[in-house]
Structure 1
Amino acid sequence: MTNTGIASRYAEALVEALIANQSANPSDDPLVILSGLNDFVAALSESRDLDLVLVSPSVSAERKRAVIAALSDRLGIHRLVRNFLFVLSDHRRLMLVREANQVAGVVLDEKLGFQRAVLTIASPLSEDEKNQIAGKLGEITGKRIRLNLELDLSLVGGVVARVGSTVYDGSVRGQLEVIGSRLAAG
């Protein structure tokens, strides 16, 4: 099994635990709890030494658990995510935490009825503009939309939305290309 497959299995198990926890504790928002995993991954990205300690075979499992517990306490990470990190560490799979984090976000979105959309923009958008675009994409797809924004100054203006494999090009660059194609065709 590939690392992607392994990370996916761990991520799916975490999401199942988050959903089960929400059933038992309705005030526990799985998205908020999962954000703790994002915080942990961000801390790893900020500290190469921390990353090396947690994946090094020369560091004892007990020491890794202590580091994970201390960092989890400092970041306010929910017990479910902390336990997930312990499981990854105990099975020597902590090097997959970044990939598991990405997969868990996607799987949780799917379980909660969200569709991810990548919105490429030429300049920053206001919250109102983001909400309007998400609303329109939601009407088109029939799902709640979670936007991921990417800045691309070559667009000149407008936006390009990618929802799954479908691309909606509302950029000035895209419109100019269409006009150019029409003029070239005669």
Structure 2
Amino acid sequence: MTTHIEQAPVRPTHVLADPSEQAVARVYAVSYLDAAQQAGQHDPLEDLESFVSEVLGSSRDFNSLLTSVVTTREQKAELIDRIVKPRASEFFTNFLHVLARHERLDLLPVIAQQARLEFDVRSNRKRVAVKSAVPLSDEQSGAVAERLRSTFGFEPILETQVDPSLLGGLVVQVGDTVYDGSLRTQLKSLKQRLRERYLNEIQSGRNRFSIDG
């Protein structure tokens, strides 16, 4: 089976012509998702992410062989056919062959990351960081997700984190915007307002003394 992934750029011959790793990986990630859509692949990330985490992540020797500059393109192609092909889809195997020919197999973890980000955008999903003083229950997480869904119109993917220093409440980050509703921040704000009120009262008293004098 042939795909449009073949149109992905080859490695520049000069290091100064090579864009950033993230940018190159994104080109391959977008090409991968576009080709997957054309080929009718319903879950294109399954093979990609499982290969990166379960194969490359668990077998250092295989990872080294597949990504080393010492291993020739022909040897890498043979490894893919012998080890990956019997266990993965034809579509994903072809993608690995494309990366092997372009000497880009070392970018697989970054490609997987970029593909996930792009897939989320295409699916109108967005990752939201949520910090709480104690672990959220399923019911609480569901309520937070529903509030985000109704407010912003996208499908939230909650990435929860426990931070006891918050004391209570939540800190929610959507993109670059942080919504801080933690008890720690509320107490800090209350303390600041009381301090300002106290200073204003002192200043008012001084002004009154000055006028009376």
Could you say whether these structures have the same fold, taking a TM-score greater than 0.5 normalized by the shorter chain as the test?
Answer: yes
1:65 aligned onto 2:77:
yes
**Is the contact between residue 84 and residue 93 of structure 2 (CA under 8 Å) also seen in structure 1?**
no
Question: What corresponds to 1:154 in structure 2?
Answer: 165
Letter in 1 for 2:35: A
Distance (Å, rounded) in 2 between the aligned partners of 1:147 and 1:170:
17
Distance (Å, rounded) in 2 between the aligned partners of 1:139 and 1:51:
44
Aligned partner of 1:142 among 153, 156, 164: 153
Cα 1:184–1:3 shift into 2, 3 Å: same
Q: How many residues align?
A: 177
Q: Which range is displaced more, 58-67 or 95-104? A: 58-67
1:146 Cα deviation from its structure 2 partner: 1.8
Instruction: Classify the secondary structure of the residue corresponding to 2:61.
Output: helix
Q: Which range is displaced more, 33-42 or 155-164? A: 155-164
1:105 Cα deviation from its structure 2 partner: 0.8
Instruction: Classify the secondary structure of the residue corresponding to 1:154.
Output: helix
Letter in 2 for 1:108: F
Distance (Å, rounded) in 1 between the aligned partners of 2:164 and 2:79:
41
Distance (Å, rounded) in 1 between the aligned partners of 2:86 and 2:191:
58
Letter in 1 for 2:21: N
Letter in 2 for 1:19: Q
In the TM superposition, what whole-angstrom CA distance separates every residue of 1:89-128 from its partner, at most 9, and x where no partner exists? 2211112111111111111111111122122334433333
1:137 Cα deviation from its structure 2 partner: 0.8
**Is the contact between residue 40 and residue 72 of structure 1 (CA under 8 Å) also seen in structure 2?**
no
Question: Normalized against structure 2, the TM-score is what?
Answer: 0.71
Aligned partner of 1:9 among 27, 32, 45: 27
1:45 aligned onto 2:60:
no
Distance (Å, rounded) in 2 between the aligned partners of 1:67 and 1:122:
48
Cα 1:61–1:121 shift into 2, 3 Å: farther
Distance (Å, rounded) in 2 between the aligned partners of 1:72 and 1:88:
15
Cα 1:118–1:29 shift into 2, 3 Å: farther
Aligned partner of 1:21 among 11, 35, 39: 39
In the TM superposition, what whole-angstrom CA distance separates every residue of 1:2-58 from its partner, at most 9, and x where no partner exists? 221111100111111222234xxxxx533xx30321211213233332222111112
Aligned partner of 2:124 among 113, 118, 134: 113
Aligned partner of 2:190 among 157, 179, 186: 179
Distance (Å, rounded) in 2 between the aligned partners of 1:68 and 1:156:
52
Aligned partner of 2:98 among 87, 108, 124: 87
Cα 1:108–1:173 shift into 2, 3 Å: same
Cα 1:49–1:184 shift into 2, 3 Å: farther
Q: Which range is displaced more, 10-19 or 144-153? A: 144-153
Q: Which has the larger radius of gyration?
A: 2
Letter in 2 for 1:125: L
Distance (Å, rounded) in 1 between the aligned partners of 2:106 and 2:99:
8
1:73 Cα deviation from its structure 2 partner: 4.3
Question: What corresponds to 1:165 in structure 2?
Answer: 176
